[in-house]
Amino acid sequence: MELKGFFPVWDKLTEEQKRQLESASSLRRLSAGELVHSAQTDCVGLLALRSGRLRAFMLSESGREITLYRLFERDICLFSASCMVRSLQFDVSIEAERDSEFIVIAPEAYRRVMEQSAALANYTNELMATRFSEVMWLVEQVLWQSFDKRLAGFLLDEAALEGSDKLAITHERIAAHLGTAREVVTRMLRYFQAEGLVSLSRGAVTLKDRKGLAAISK
């Protein structure tokens, strides 16, 4: 199950602890768009991502979204096992953004080993701190960055992730990533288009001037 590759502290676990984690692990595949974890589902467990991409997002009561962070190959998703940490009192939803394959570690088993192993507990601490840092970056963006900066930065990030200047994404989806309303996105994209930064077509945004977008995003 190659958990070793996901946990730099693996060698600090006892053979019995390794065995406990391994026997609590199972392989799972999801197709792009499928939900891994939400406020309504049970505590799935820790996810160790072998391939694909996951998106963690927050969902408001009225159905609005904002992307908190993405998880890539070799990342570990902690919040799908939030029941493990008593004081985690918030709901994060996690979906497969691409076809994904991951190892699920049952939360009870992980918790048991974490209670015995200072190495694993400290590593889990680092994992949480990493996500916390990403969320704090987001708070700064939302509070103190103008929307044109955030949108220009988002388009550049997406182009880098997709390896293409043509993004197959609707204004609605962009709004869900950035935690705003579709109209706000449409208005700013039209402004970007008028400035020659992007071109818009049905269900797609094409970057036309990366340098111009980069200048805005700074």
The interface region with a copy of itself, picked from 62-70, 154-162, 163-171, 209-217 by CB under 8 A, is 62-70
Total residues interacting with a copy of itself, rule: CB under 8 A: 41
CB of 142 to a copy of itself, least distance (A): 6
Which amino acid belongs to residue 198? V
- Residue 40 sits at the vertex; the CA angle it makes with 135 and 181, to the nearest 5 degrees, is 50
Verify binding: residue 83, a copy of itself, rule CB under 8 A. Answer: no
Asked if 49 and 76 touch (Cβ cutoff 8 Å), the reply is: yes
Q: Of 103, 179, 205, 207, which lies in the binding site for a copy of itself, with binding defined by CB under 8 A?
A: 179
Helix ranges (H only) for the chain are 15-23, 107-116, 118-144, 147-162, 171-178, 182-194, 210-217
Residue with Cβ nearer a copy of itself (34 or 126): 126
HSE-up (13 A, CA, CB side) for residue 76? 22
What character string, x for contact with a copy of itself (CB under 8 A) and - otherwise, covers 17-56?
A: ----------------------------------------
Residue with Cβ nearer a copy of itself (172 or 195): 172
Distance CA 77, CA 70 (A): 10
Tokens representing residue 41 in the block: 């589902």
Asked if 67 and 142 touch (Cβ cutoff 8 Å), the reply is: no
Verify binding: residue 137, a copy of itself, rule CB under 8 A. Answer: yes
Q: Of 11, 15, 42, 89, which lies in the binding site for a copy of itself, with binding defined by CB under 8 A?
A: 89
Asked if 28 and 101 touch (Cβ cutoff 8 Å), the reply is: yes
CB of 89 to a copy of itself, least distance (A): 4
Pairing outcome for strands 46-51 and 76-77 = antiparallel
Residue with structure tokens 């997406």?
Answer: 158
* The residue count for the chain: 218
Which amino acid belongs to residue 86? R
Verify binding: residue 14, a copy of itself, rule CB under 8 A. Answer: no
Verify binding: residue 153, a copy of itself, rule CB under 8 A. Answer: no
Q: Of 90, 163, 201, 211, which lies in the binding site for a copy of itself, with binding defined by CB under 8 A?
A: 90
Tokens representing residue 212 in the block: 């111009």
CB of 179 to a copy of itself, least distance (A): 5
Q: Of 1, 43, 83, 128, which lies in the binding site for a copy of itself, with binding defined by CB under 8 A?
A: 128
Verify binding: residue 144, a copy of itself, rule CB under 8 A. Answer: yes
Contact positions vs a copy of itself (CB under 8 A): 58, 60-62, 64, 66, 85-90, 114-122, 124-133, 135-140, 142-144, 179
